[in-house]
Chains A and B, each alone.
Chain A
Amino acid sequence: MSEKFLSLEGVEKRFPIAGKDDYVAVTDVDLEIKENEIISIIGHSGCGKSTLLNMISGLDAQSEGAIILENKHIDGPGPERAVVFQNHSLLPWLTVYNNIEMAVKKVMPELDSKELRERVEKFISMVNLEHARDKLPDEISGGMKQRVGIARALSIKPKVLLMDEPFGALDSLTRANLQEHLMRIQQNVKNTVVIITHDIDEAVLLSDRVIMMTNGPDATIGEILEVNLDRPRNRVELQHDPEYIRCREAILSFLYEKFAKDDE
């Protein structure tokens, strides 16, 4: 298991603005992510955290620097870096089953029809959605949709799971429920996960490390926080855990003292 699983080296993203200097969204990002590590990237809106994720996914190309996954430069999107989008991005004309099936079919064309069905069903049950197997996305709740999104992303056996504010659009109870799902899945199947979030509790609860971004323009990594909490983690018990409190406070102080943003 190489320490250098996924690395970002001197990554910068500029957006051209007509008649003016380029807007530098993020700059000088150096980061190494270990295999099976869960990291969160947290920061105020406009800190370029989504831009960073889009560059790792390949949906956006970096202007400078390199992103390397298992010794290979990332050049464009691909299924080994599955994305869970904030708005789930399920195809509304396909059922839960068909949405996942479409992805598995494309990425694993070698499966015969029985293996294909078993694989799709395995991931549907991984997120406890057997009962919604044949429902259309419009017929299920937002939280369930996001669970399908996670199942779809995991079903194609990605090396890295990228989650762009995956639970941002959900109410806090549903969000907690999905965090539990994610932690439970992670207990059983190890994945390397990068989560973009603006929720401090979510960051601490889920991650091994929390990457804190400074404000844009020219945003970069401000601090990196190690979360030394054993798994499985229990959100209720953690409320009084000194390590949890320390992590929370570190992020709070970073976001609201060192890099406070007034215009929000």
Chain B
Amino acid sequence: MNKELLKRVFLPMVVLVLIIQVWIGIATTIEDFPTPGDTYVAAFGGVNSEGDEIIGVLSDPFYIENQDDKGLYWQVIESLKRVFAGFSLAILIGVPFGLMLGMSKTAQYAFDPFIQIFKPISPLAWLPLLLYIFQDINMTAISTIFVTSIWPIIINTALGVKSVSEDYMNVAKVLRFTPLEKILNIILPVSVPFIFTGMRLSLGIAWLVIVAAEMLTGGIGIGFWIWDEYNNLNYHNIIIGIILVGLIGYLLDLAMGMMANHFDYTKKGRA
């Protein structure tokens, strides 16, 4: 094993040990706070520190007891479905809108102030309004994700369009490209890396939002599950939920990053 790889494996291990030490510290200070050991048992099953035999929440994530009691897998899948619905909607509307903003100064002047105002609004502020509009858990969660994750897509797409060099546009002018040909042949290829940066930020936001949204809307989903476990006094499961949310978020980001590289012309031919 080379030195670089050793560092990449060894150093995170050191930090992990530190984190667990801090965790143990907190667990001994706060009454009833789950210890790392008990949390592990709660996740994967075994015998906990009080001598109880426990089936872990991750040992059988696929179970369906009834409509209101489903395994973690189903909770996560529900959340992911909502995330992708809201995220896809954000791409579908955000990319064309961003293209328009980037190409037209008029559109930019008209919309920019509102984008700046809407962008920093917390999903939790939108939620009551959207819940009132839709009166439906799924629609509320999806529309909350849409309305909070569309901004980075719009802004980055517009930025991508603006980064198209004058030289390329001159080529388009000499060849007398129609506006559509300009978009397809020149603007999109230049903007794609920017659009993907926007999408990556957007997906990150969407995943952040879903947990909060589901806590308030209830029903099913990883966010709701965490809140439900709080109400059931299953503090171990809250920590399991948090770690799970983090891991899935990381995987989503990794997948987006790989896709972004695939479509980025600046990273082709050099690999």
Number of residue pairs spanning A and B whose beta carbons lie under 8 angstroms apart = 52
Q: Are B176 and A102 in contact (CB under 8 A)?
A: no
Q: State A157–B181 Cα separation when bound (angstroms).
A: 21
Instruction: Mark the stretch among A62-70, A89-97, A252-260 that contacts chain B.
Output: A89-97
Q: Are A106 and B171 in contact (CB under 8 A)?
A: no
Q: Are A59 and B170 in contact (CB under 8 A)?
A: yes
Is A83's beta carbon under 8 Å from chain B? yes
Q: Could you tell me the dominant secondary structure of chain A's interface residues?
A: loop
Q: Are A78 and B167 in contact (CB under 8 A)?
A: no
Distance from A38 Cβ to chain B, minimum over Cβ atoms (Å): 20
Instruction: Mark the stretch among B88-96, B99-107, B218-226, B262-270 that contacts chain A.
Output: B262-270
Is A128's beta carbon under 8 Å from chain B? no
Tell me whether A79 and B170 are in contact in the complex, defined as CB-CB below 8 angstroms, given that A91-B189, A93-B189 are known contacts. Answer: no
Q: Are A89 and B176 in contact (CB under 8 A)?
A: no
Closest to B165 in A: A89
Interface centre among B171, B176, B266 (most CB of A within 10 A): B171
User: Beta-carbon contacts of B161-185 to A below 8 Å, as 1s and 0s?
Assistant: 0000001101101111100010001
Please, which residues of chain B bring their CB within 8 A of the CB of A132? none
Q: Are A106 and B176 in contact (CB under 8 A)?
A: yes
Is A107's beta carbon under 8 Å from chain B? yes
Please, which residues of chain B bring their CB within 8 A of the CB of A102? 175, 185
Please, which residues of chain B bring their CB within 8 A of the CB of A57? 174
Q: State A57–B189 Cα separation when bound (angstroms).
A: 25
Closest to A57 in B: B174
Tell me whether A91 and B174 are in contact in the complex, defined as CB-CB below 8 angstroms, given that A102-B185, A106-B181, A138-B270 are known contacts. Answer: no
Is A179's beta carbon under 8 Å from chain B? no
Closest to B175 in A: A106
Q: Are B189 and A79 in contact (CB under 8 A)?
A: no
Q: Are B174 and A81 in contact (CB under 8 A)?
A: yes
Q: State A260–B258 Cα separation when bound (angstroms).
A: 57
Q: Are A59 and B168 in contact (CB under 8 A)?
A: no
Is B186's beta carbon under 8 Å from chain A? yes
Please, which residues of chain B bring their CB within 8 A of the CB of A156? 175
Tell me whether A82 and B174 are in contact in the complex, defined as CB-CB below 8 angstroms, given that A93-B265, A136-B269, A138-B269 are known contacts. Answer: yes
Please, which residues of chain B bring their CB within 8 A of the CB of A89? 167-168, 170-171
Closest to A102 in B: B185
Distance from B155 Cβ to chain A, minimum over Cβ atoms (Å): 23
Please, which residues of chain B bring their CB within 8 A of the CB of A85? 167, 170-171
Tell me whether A78 and B171 are in contact in the complex, defined as CB-CB below 8 angstroms, given that A91-B186, A93-B189 are known contacts. Answer: no
User: Beta-carbon contacts of B196-215 to A below 8 Å, as 1s and 0s?
Assistant: 00000000000000000000
Is A142's beta carbon under 8 Å from chain B? no
Q: Are A83 and B170 in contact (CB under 8 A)?
A: yes
Closest to A149 in B: B171
Q: State A82–B176 Cα separation when bound (angstroms).
A: 11
Tell me whether A103 and B189 are in contact in the complex, defined as CB-CB below 8 angstroms, given that A83-B170, A89-B167, A136-B269 are known contacts. Answer: no
Q: State A120–B167 Cα separation when bound (angstroms).
A: 22
Is A9's beta carbon under 8 Å from chain B? no
User: Contact check: which of A87, A93, A106, A139 meets B177 at CB < 8 Å?
Assistant: A106
Q: Are B170 and A78 in contact (CB under 8 A)?
A: no
Closest to B188 in A: A93
User: Contact check: which of B167, B176, B181, B189 meets A77 at CB < 8 Å?
Assistant: B176
User: Contact check: which of A83, A87, A136 meets B268 at CB < 8 Å?
Assistant: A136
Tell me whether A91 and B168 are in contact in the complex, defined as CB-CB below 8 angstroms, given that A106-B181, A136-B268, A138-B269 are known contacts. Answer: yes
Interface centre among B175, B185, B268, B269 (most CB of A within 10 A): B175
Q: Are A83 and B174 in contact (CB under 8 A)?
A: yes
User: Contact check: which of B173, B181, B189 meets A59 at CB < 8 Å?
Assistant: B173
- Can you report 17 A-B residue pairs in the complex whose CB atoms are below 8 A from each other? A59-B170, A59-B173, A76-B173, A77-B170, A77-B176, A78-B176, A79-B175, A82-B174, A91-B168, A91-B189, A92-B266, A93-B189, A93-B268, A102-B185, A136-B268, A136-B269, A139-B269
Nearest 5 interchain pairs by C-beta:
A93-B265, A89-B167, A77-B173, A136-B269, A93-B189
Given contacts A106-B176, A139-B269, 6 further A-B contacts (CB under 8 A): A58-B173, A59-B170, A78-B174, A89-B168, A89-B171, A92-B266
